[in-house]
Structure 1
Amino acid sequence: MLNNSSSTSMQLISTITYSIWLARNKKVFQNKYTPADEVVARALNSLTEYQKHLVEYRLHSKQATSSDHNNICWSPPPLNCLKLNVDAHLNDDGRWGFGLILRRTDRRYVGAATRMCAGSHDVAMAEATGLKQALQFIETNHLSNTIVELDAKIIVQAVNCNKFPRSNWGRIASQCARFLSQSSNTISIGWVNRKGNTTAHRLARWALVEPNKNWFFDFPSCIQPYIRKDIGGVS
């Protein structure tokens, strides 16, 4: 059976097995009981972070373009443009949370949103779905001259190069590229370092608390310090 398992399945099996082993050691040596759902949740979180770092490592190992070196921190969009940052986060209950934060040239906040959906263990799939959520947000709110920014370079490169793998995330990314080619609005996709996407990441984590909500006149308290940092240009 193991010989026929996919790489993703093997990673999941190994991670859960290791989490069970750690829980067993806590019980044997510290007499501390760990509930089964907590064991699985920790395993899923660990696997998610591993996959995301692995994707970034593989991409950073390739030669970076000159524009990538300028995308370490968040920067405002050009004059008369908007920038929509988006990120994905795997909650302990297995669902994906998405955070979207919209800002303008003077670094001022315009709007924000959280989204939730049934999750998977495919990090690239979640990031591609986050991009799709961002494009739907743009369409619903009739936005134009908008730059969508995310920290998943593999998704950005696939969409901008119009080359997609035969995978679930490749299918979603292809749908995003098709939307962009058919849209009458000016929309571009860009990459930013994870550090420059902190505000969207915090909002994605907040999606568990307030899922599927839009803010246009205020914003959740969880991102206030990050909004202030970005306004002040603090790295």
Structure 2
Amino acid sequence: HCNGDGHWGLGWIVRKEDGSCLGATTRTVSARTAMEAEALGLVVVLQSINQQEGRTIIIEMDSKVVMQAIQRHEYPRVYWGHVARNGGDMLAKLSNV
């Protein structure tokens, strides 16, 4: 959610394959819109995944629009579309996601 000053709070949970929690993290990003924050959040998570080598990773998001853009490789010509494209490129390089 937006903190009122352009900073958005993000959070994610890391779980084992059986669903039990390994840990949780929160972070803030600077964004103008919720879509930008969602796309930036995905990139932040993907950057942290690089540290989880050898584990199978499943990413779940509540932003259907960002996920569809990545799945279809159709990115709007706005800032969040550029960020989502970067996230899609990162996903393509990760074999454990």
Q: TM-score, normalised by structure 1?
A: 0.39
1:91 maps to what in 2? 3
2:68 maps to what in 1? 157
Answer yes or no: is 1:107 the counterpart of 2:19. Answer: yes
Answer yes or no: is 1:131 the counterpart of 2:34. Answer: no
Within the candidate set 24, 30, 53, 1:118 is matched to 30
Gaps of 5+ in 2: none
Aligned counterparts of 1:161 and 1:186: Cα–Cα separation in 2: 20
Name the Cα RMSD after superposition: 1.5
Within the candidate set 176, 185, 191, 2:87 is matched to 176
1:186 maps to what in 2? 96
Aligned counterparts of 1:111 and 1:136: Cα–Cα separation in 2: 16
| Structure with greater proportional helix content | 1
Task: Determine if contact 2:69/2:84 at 8 Å carries over to the other structure.
Answer: yes
Task: Determine if contact 2:29/2:37 at 8 Å carries over to the other structure.
Answer: no
Distance change in 2, residues 1:152/1:143 (3 Å): farther
Task: Determine if contact 2:30/2:37 at 8 Å carries over to the other structure.
Answer: no
**Aligned residue identity for 1:186:** N
Report the CA distance between 1:143 and its aligned residue: 5.6
Larger radius of gyration: 1
Distance change in 2, residues 1:155/1:164 (3 Å): same
The 5 Å alignment of 1:60-99 reads: 89-99=1-11
**Aligned residue identity for 1:158:** A
Gaps of 5+ in 1: 1-88, 188-235
**Structure 1 vs Structure 2: percent identity of aligned residues?**
35
Report the CA distance between 1:94 and its aligned residue: 2.9
Aligned counterparts of 2:38 and 2:85: Cα–Cα separation in 1: 13
Deviations 1:40-91 (A, max 9, x none): xxxxxxxxxxxxxxxxxxxxxxxxxxxxxxxxxxxxxxxxxxxxxxxxx211
Aligned counterparts of 1:115 and 1:141: Cα–Cα separation in 2: 18
Deviations 1:128-171 (A, max 9, x none): 11111110111133363211111100001011111111110100
Q: TM-score, normalised by structure 2?
A: 0.88
Report the CA distance between 1:119 and its aligned residue: 2.9
